[in-house]
């Protein structure tokens, strides 16, 4: 009898827990132990052995729960199409915008807020096709007198190696062309890994030391590769700790070939901040657009935390804002 009551009691409390989970959705950002945010994937990796949020996780079916919360909040329509703007996954906020231009404006809003809070802060920039609408918007707002970059220091994520700064495919060139030449950031406070350095290993150490000696990144902007890379941290067996000299995977070479005359011309090596360098930023802002990024956004945000999907590390960061268009968000 006693045993049966116990079982019944347990069932009742589990039912209550499930109801609470459904009512409060993702608000179980338990901060024990060691201040880590608890995510479903973190549990499944076994990284935490005990936590008061465990009952939530036991009953937590990622897919159905996310869908339920999103429908309840009006983010998904009944047909599962995204009709609204903000998905709150606890430490990660996902904004879904209906156009590439709107994505750029939202990302610029987030950047502008961080800049207003730290006008002499250190900001991390990124290259690639995705940030261009955001950069266009930052330039427009600067020209309209709404933004002032005169106090900031910048660090870019990565650079091909070897490459001349004058090469129009270098990230140095890209940043000058698409942002730095059009705003008032002082040129002596712009930092990129040097693709002209004689020794890539020494250059990696120099760059890491420079990032670490700075006041710390207020915000790091990221794109994401179709293979889940952030910066040039490609899928691997382990996360990288510091800026390093690395080889590009074939899929990255193919993805970047669109900027070159042919895939043969894409450099096969690069200098890149490490995952840890990136994770030390106070805030992460990731942008992605297009259907090609849909599956990897799902894997990065909702899948296991694994260096095979480098961006999945962001699930463990305390403050991540992600701006997607509806296509890139379509698998969430
Ligand atoms: P993309 O690149 O913005 O050109 O898609 C992103 C990346 O590879 O990080």
Evaluate if residue 131 carries a pLDDT over 50: yes
Kindly indicate whether the domain formed by 97-325 is annotated with CATH number 3.40.50.1360.
yes
- Compare 50 and 294 and report the one with higher pLDDT: 294
Please tell me which residue in 137, 158, 299, 325 is annotated as part of the active site.
Answer: 158
- Per-residue confidence (pLDDT) for residue 64, from 0 to 100: 43
Predicted pLDDT at 205? 98
CB of 127 within 6 A of ligand 1: the answer is no
Give the pLDDT score at 98.
Answer: 87
Ligand 1 neighbour 128 (Cβ under 6 A): yes
pLDDT at 19: 61
Ligand 1 pocket check for 151: Cβ under 6 Å:
no
What does the pLDDT read at residue 86?
76
Domain with CATH 3.40.50.1360 in the chain: 97-325
Mean pLDDT to the nearest integer, 291-320 = 95
Q: Is 229 in the active site?
A: yes
Task: Write down the pLDDT at residue 61.
Answer: 39
- Contact status, residue 332 vs residue 296, Cβ threshold 8 Å: no
Is residue 178 over pLDDT 50? Answer: yes
Q: Determine the pLDDT at residue 13.
A: 56
pLDDT in tens, 190-226: 999 999 999 999 999 999 999 999 999 999 999 999 9
Report the pLDDT value the prediction gives residue 133, as an integer from 0 to 100.
Answer: 98
Q: How confident is the model at residue 35 (pLDDT cuts 50, 70, 90)?
A: very low
């Amino acid at each position: 009898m006693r045993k049966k009551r116990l079982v019944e009691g347990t069932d009742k409390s589990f039912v209550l827990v499930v109801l609470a989970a459904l009512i409060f959705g993702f608000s179980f950002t338990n901060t024990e132990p060691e201040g880590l945010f608890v995510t479903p994937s973190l549990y499944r990796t076994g990284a935490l052995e005990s936590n008061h949020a465990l009952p939530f996780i036991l009953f937590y079916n990622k897919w159905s729960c996310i869908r339920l919360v999103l429908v309840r909040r009006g983010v998904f329509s009944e047909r599962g199409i995204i009709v609204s703007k903000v998905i709150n996954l606890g430490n990660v906020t996902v904004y879904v915008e209906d156009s590439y231009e709107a994505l750029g404006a939202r990302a610029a809003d987030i950047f502008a807020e961080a800049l207003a809070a730290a006008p002499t802060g250190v900001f991390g920039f990124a290259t690639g096709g995705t940030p261009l609408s955001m950069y266009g918007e930052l330039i427009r707002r600067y020209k309209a007198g709404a933004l002032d970059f005169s106090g900031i220091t910048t660090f870019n994520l990565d650079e091909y190696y070897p490459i001349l700064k004058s090469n129009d495919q270098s990230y140095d060139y890209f940043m000058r062309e698409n942002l730095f030449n059009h705003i008032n950031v002082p040129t002596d406070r712009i930092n990129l890994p040097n693709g002209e350095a004689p020794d890539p290993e020494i250059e990696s150490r120099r760059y890491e030391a420079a990032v670490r000696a700075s006041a710390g990144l207020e915000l790091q902007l990221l794109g994401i590769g179709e293979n889940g890379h952030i910066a040039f941290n490609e899928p691997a067996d382990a996360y990288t700790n510091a800026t390093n000299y690395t080889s590009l995977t074939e899929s990255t070479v193919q993805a970047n070939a669109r900027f070159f005359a042919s895939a043969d011309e894409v450099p096969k090596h690069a200098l890149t901040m490490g995952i840890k360098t990136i994770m030390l930023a106070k805030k992460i802002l990731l942008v992605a657009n297009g259907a090609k990024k849909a599956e990897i956004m799902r894997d990065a945000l909702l899948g296991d935390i694994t260096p095979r999907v480098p961006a999945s590390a962001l699930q463990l960061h305390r403050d991540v804002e992600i701006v997607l268009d509806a296509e890139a968000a379509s698998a969430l």
